Structure 1
Amino acid sequence: MKTLLFVLSLLLSHFLAAQPTVPYGNNPAAGHYQLVRGVKLYYETYGQGPPLLLIHGNGDNISAFAKNILYFAQRYRVIAVDSRAHGKSVDPGDSLSFEMMADDFASLLTSLRIDSAYVLGWSDGGINALVLALRHPEKVKRLVATGANLWPDSTALMPSLWQQQQRGYQENRNTKFTDPKRRNDWKVFCLDVFQPNIPLAALRRVRVPAFIIAGDRDVIRPEHTVAIYQNLPRAWLWIIPNSGHATLQEHADEFNQKTDAFFRTKAVPAPAR
């Protein structure tokens, strides 16, 4: 019996190893462009079912969800998007804000004839999920935000990250970037130096159920994550043990399952206290 199980295990390992790796973020079979508010947004779609919008973090792209897309595509129509000025979504403009990006996502959903979607955002994507729910509440069924912050200082961010950002800004603030890529990278970097600026009280306008997540070793202060949870009228909180900022990568299986359960449950979280 042990020999049979060992052979089956080897066969399964060989089968899994033989499966092609999906080039998330650069997949011609799933990729599309949509002109949205003056920017060609790049997005990829996977699976069928209720729409699920995935929003990555600062300086990242669709590939950030490489450990999540396959799971969710079994039950949802996954729409993974490169945010404005990120990945393949080229943005020639000089300004960038979370409000601009949230408006982009709302317009993208409208262009795809999607009235509302589940939303999962990581880091800056978590901020975007909250801003989308504030600015376009009709577009959000439920939201999951992991590693999000409401303002960019040392009361929200761990001191090491905040100090690193401040040093980077001071060292380069007078640099004239002539290369388009470096100029874009600087614009994306400055987004997190000066934004977001969301008062806690504003969260009380978010009426949709929200699942607020962070790692216990996240770059976001745990008390800040708790404050976000406490000021959302319908929220659940999950601080993941033994996790840094990359909760959905470091603990992908558990993260996927709990997020899916949150989206699918008909229960409404009790008002946060």
Structure 2
Amino acid sequence: MKHVLFWLALLLAGRAALGQPVPYGHNPAAGHYAAVRGIRLYYESYGAGPPLLLLHGNGGSMGDFQQNIPYFVAHHYRVIAVDSRAHGRSADPADSLSFEQLADDFAALLTHLRLDSAYVLGWSDGGIGAVLLALRHPEKVKRLVATGANFSPDSLALTPALWQQQQRGYLENKNRVFTDPVKRNEWKVFKLDVFQPNVPLGALRRVRAPALVVAGDHDVITLAHTLAIYRHLPRAWLWIVPHSGHATLQEHAGEFNRQVDTFFRAPRIPAGPH
């Protein structure tokens, strides 16, 4: 098996040299399963250096970081990209799902990897997970970046178009019986964002890790809610990305990567603006 993985690694290196994308999320040379908390959590590891945990959004996978992983590997991080429970290759047969559950999974993964702590970058649901990881397991997070995160599922946090779309999707399907396991899982993941998260903003005052709060100026998370998150985190910095929607890390990948790297590597983080 080691010989097979060696040749696969050479093949992938050759693809990268030819400008062909690495198949993040489907890379046997870098992929592993961790048995944590009753499931097999799939992750891929790249590079060497300070550990950086990447957390994707609802219905996504680690493949969403296609434009980010190469940058952080080249800048000497050990990148650990994970498929969240019930996403990608991390199957979860249970009927329910919560953000607290996901945060505990991420902490268990770091423990499994014998990592005391890591930098954490989360997008959308992954941003929620990054903050909850720092809230529930403060020793695990050195610094965190959360882009496009929300802490309530209502019309105060979400733009009217997104909130109405979610409500319509739920009402149209709430009485359906999903016999197909794939559809049943998709419905579970969809409901996660319809009813959660429900984290009082006051609870964010207990987060001690330095945090960079990011959103696009045309994000699906309201500016008012993003500002409220920023104001409740004790050691927070805010970046509203101009000319960007929800996918800040994809629409402005170059600038996003540089800003995140600068935040993580700053030799001294001040006490904060609050």
State whether TM-score is above 0.5: yes
Q: Distance in 1 between matches of 2:37 and 2:58?
A: 20
Q: Distance in 2 between matches of 1:60 and 1:197?
A: 21
Q: Distance in 2 between matches of 1:267 and 1:17?
A: 36
Q: Distance in 2 between matches of 1:218 and 1:78?
A: 26
Residue 18 of structure 1 deviates from its aligned partner by 2.6
Q: Distance in 2 between matches of 1:231 and 1:19?
A: 43
Does the Cα contact within 8 Å between 2:117 and 2:142 map onto a contact in 1? yes
Q: Secondary structure of the equivalent of 1:267?
A: coil
Q: Which residue is 1:20 aligned to?
A: 20
Q: Which residue is 2:264 aligned to?
A: 263
Q: Which residue is 2:232 aligned to?
A: 231
1:7-54 Cα offsets, whole Å, 9 max, x none, are xxxxxxxx9883232001111111111111011100000100000000
Q: Which residue is 2:7 aligned to?
A: none
CA RMSD, 1 decimal: 1.2
Q: Which residue is 2:39 aligned to?
A: 39
Check if 1:66 corresponds to 2:80. no
Give the letter for the 1:232 counterpart.
Answer: L
Residue 153 of structure 1 deviates from its aligned partner by 0.5
Residue 257 of structure 1 deviates from its aligned partner by 0.2
Q: Distance in 1 between matches of 2:48 and 2:17?
A: 25
1:118-170 Cα offsets, whole Å, 9 max, x none, are 00000000000011011000000000000000100010000000000000000
Q: Distance in 2 between matches of 1:270 and 1:254?
A: 25
Does the Cα contact within 8 Å between 2:237 and 2:272 map onto a contact in 1? no
260-269 vs 178-187, which moves further: 260-269
Check if 1:80 corresponds to 2:78. no
Does the Cα contact within 8 Å between 1:156 and 1:224 map onto a contact in 2? yes
Q: Distance in 2 between matches of 1:128 and 1:67?
A: 21
Check if 1:29 corresponds to 2:29. yes
Q: Which residue is 1:171 aligned to?
A: 172
Does the Cα contact within 8 Å between 2:157 and 2:225 map onto a contact in 1? yes
Residue 268 of structure 1 deviates from its aligned partner by 1.6
Q: Which residue is 1:201 aligned to?
A: 202
Q: Which residue is 1:140 aligned to?
A: 141
Give the letter for the 1:192 counterpart.
Answer: D
Q: Secondary structure of the equivalent of 1:258?
A: helix
Q: Which residue is 1:251 aligned to?
A: 252
Distance verdict in 2 for CA 1:78–1:16, change over 3 Å: closer
Q: Distance in 1 between matches of 2:52 and 2:17?
A: 28
Q: Distance in 1 between matches of 2:109 and 2:264?
A: 21
Does the Cα contact within 8 Å between 2:213 and 2:226 map onto a contact in 1? yes
Does the Cα contact within 8 Å between 1:235 and 1:269 map onto a contact in 2? no
Structure 1: which 5+ runs fail to align? Answer: 1-14
Does the Cα contact within 8 Å between 1:236 and 1:269 map onto a contact in 2? no
Q: Secondary structure of the equivalent of 1:144?
A: strand
Q: Which residue is 1:118 aligned to?
A: 119
Q: Which residue is 2:12 aligned to?
A: none
Residue 270 of structure 1 deviates from its aligned partner by 4.0
Aligned residue pairs, count: 259
Distance verdict in 2 for CA 1:271–1:86, change over 3 Å: same
Distance verdict in 2 for CA 1:66–1:264, change over 3 Å: same
Q: Distance in 2 between matches of 1:21 and 1:60?
A: 18
Q: Distance in 2 between matches of 1:257 and 1:19?
A: 21
Distance verdict in 2 for CA 1:61–1:16, change over 3 Å: closer
Q: Secondary structure of the equivalent of 2:238?
A: strand
Higher-Rg member (1/2)? 1
* TM-score computed with the length of structure 2 as normaliser: 0.93
Matched-pair identity in %: 71
Q: Distance in 1 between matches of 2:105 and 2:113?
A: 12
Q: Distance in 2 between matches of 1:16 and 1:85?
A: 29
Q: Distance in 1 between matches of 2:120 and 2:16?
A: 29
Does the Cα contact within 8 Å between 1:231 and 1:272 map onto a contact in 2? no
Q: Distance in 1 between matches of 2:231 and 2:273?
A: 5
Q: Distance in 1 between matches of 2:17 and 2:272?
A: 46
Residue 267 of structure 1 deviates from its aligned partner by 2.3
